Amino acid sequence: MTTIFSILLLRHQFNLYLRIQKLSVMKKLFIACVIVAICTACGGSSVDKAISQVEKALEKVEKNKGKMTEEDWRTLEKEVEEPLKVIADALDNDKVGVIGKVKILAVTAKWATVLAEAGVSELERRTGVDRENWAGEIERAGQELGNQLEQAVKEFESENGTTLEQALEQAVKELEGSELGKVLEQLNTPTE
C-alpha cells in the first residue's frame, strides 16, 4: 500500500513540476515570492523572535511603570535573559545584517534606558532624595567629605609634629632606592 501511495505522490509531484515548467518567468517569480513570504511569516529567525520577546518585556514595564516590585524585576530579567543571549550571539557571530543590527540597537537601547530609569527610581526610593535635589545633595556630600579630610590632615599634623606634605616628602626620600620607589617613579613618569 505504501508503495502505491509513494508512486502516486511521485507522479503528482512530477505533474506539478511539469506545470511549473510551463509557467512564465513572472508567474514563477510570483510563486517564489509567495513561498518566501509564507515561510518568513510562519517562523522568522531566532533573532527576530528574541527581539520580539524583549519588546514584549518592555511593554510590560511601560504598562506597570512605577508599580513593579523587586520580584517583578527578577521575573522580567529571567524572561529576557535567553533572548538577550541569542541577540548577543547573533552579533558576535555576525548572523544579522544591517537592518537586524539597527533593530537590535533600538531594542537594547530602550532596554538599557528602562533599566537606568528603574535604577534611578529605586535610588530615589531608598535615599528619599528626588532627582531635582541630587545636585545639591552631591555638593553637600562633597563639602562634608572635604571637611572630614581637612580634619584628618589637622589631626595628623598635630600628632606627628610635621605637615602632611613634609611627611610625604620624607616617605618619598626613603623609597627612592627601593623597588617600590622605582615602580612609583615609573608610574609618575609621563608616557608619550
Q: Which residues constitute the domain of residue 14?
A: 1-43
What is the model's pLDDT at position 183? 74
Q: Answer whether residue 1 shows pLDDT above 50.
A: no
Residue 114's closest CA among 65, 165, 43, 52? 65
- 7 domain-assigned: yes
- 171 domain-assigned: no
What is the model's pLDDT at position 59? 87
| The total number of residues written for the chain in this structure | 192
Burial (CB < 10 A; 0-12, 13-18, 19+), residue 145, is exposed
Q: What is the mean pLDDT of residues 91-101?
A: 81
- 54 domain-assigned: no
Q: Answer whether residue 174 shows pLDDT above 70.
A: yes
Q: How many CA atoms lie within 13 A of 88 on its CB side?
A: 6
pLDDT digits (tens, 9 = 90+) for 129-154: 777 777 787 788 888 888 888 888 88
Domain count, the chain: 1
| CB atoms inside a 10 Å sphere around CB 84 | 19
Average pLDDT, the chain: 75
Q: Answer whether residue 157 shows pLDDT above 70.
A: yes
- 3 domain-assigned: yes
- 13 domain-assigned: yes
Higher pLDDT, 83 or 6: 83
- 17 domain-assigned: yes
- 93 domain-assigned: no
Q: Answer whether residue 91 shows pLDDT above 60.
A: yes
What is the model's pLDDT at position 5? 54
The torsion angles phi and psi of 101, rounded to 5 degrees, stand at -65, -35
- 89 domain-assigned: no
CB 10 within 8 A of CB 43: no
